[in-house]
């Protein structure tokens, strides 16, 4: 991976960087990757013989975020077995951290994997992750490398 040198990417640059990085990482593991310009999915990957997964990517620069969290609007993100979330976290001067999270973890929300429903309010409901220091270690089981290897255990080549 390459170290994050830019600390001040705007949101468009950050999104493009993250999508390119995630696509490249899936290809390293032998996945076929299809890219989309859609609000619903950023990528579709084929892993194994006939297993397809939709992928939504979110990225954040921790040095720029006062309240670090990422979210997926519920009307675009329906937890299911073939939907994956990839979180790209950039910190100045170190390699980006990638997390591959099966969307089904949000079926049982907790203090890390959040579910926000705003009834009778203007905000749309969302699924999210709060990226505060004392909870970051709870994402360790979801590092990209560990999860992509589990993905291939379930879907042989």
**Residue 6 maps to a domain:** no
Contacts for 77-83: CB closer than 8 Å, 24+ residues apart:
77/103, 77/127, 78/103, 79/103, 79/104, 79/105, 79/106, 79/107, 79/127, 80/104, 82/51, 82/52, 82/53, 82/54, 83/53, 83/54, 83/55, 83/56
Residue 44's CATH number: 3.40.1350.10
**What is the chain's pLDDT, residue by residue, as a tens digit (157 residues)?**
555 454 568 888 999 999 999 999 999 998 999 987 666 678 999 887 778 999 999 999 887 667 788 999 999 899 999 999 999 999 888 899 999 999 999 999 998 999 999 877 788 899 999 888 778 889 999 999 999 988 877 654 4
| Strands of the 113-116 sheet, one edge to the other | 69-73, 126-130, 113-116
**Residue 22 maps to a domain:** yes
Query: What is the domain range of residue 107?
Result: 11-154
* The total number of structural domains that make up the chain: 1
Q: Is the whole-model pTM more than 0.85?
A: yes
**Residue 47 maps to a domain:** yes
**Residue 1 maps to a domain:** no
**Residue 112 maps to a domain:** yes
């Amino acid at each position: 991976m390459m170290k994050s040198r830019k600390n001040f990417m705007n949101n468009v640059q950050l999104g493009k960087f993250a999508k390119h990085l995630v696509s490249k990482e899936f290809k390293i593991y032998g996945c076929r990757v299809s890219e989309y310009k859609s609000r619903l999915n950023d990528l579709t990957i084929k892993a194994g013989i006939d297993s397809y997964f939709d992928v939504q990517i979110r990225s954040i620069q921790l040095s720029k975020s006062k309240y670090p969290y990422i979210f997926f609007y519920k009307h675009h993100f329906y937890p299911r077995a073939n939907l994956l979330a990839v979180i790209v976290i950039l910190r100045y001067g170190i390699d980006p951290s990638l997390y591959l999270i099966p969307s089904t973890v949000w079926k049982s929300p907790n203090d890390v994997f959040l579910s926000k429903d705003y009834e009778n309010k203007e905000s749309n409901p969302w699924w999210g992750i709060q990226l505060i220091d004392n909870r970051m270690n709870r994402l360790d089981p979801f590092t990209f490398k560990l999860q992509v290897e589990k993905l291939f255990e379930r879907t042989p080549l």
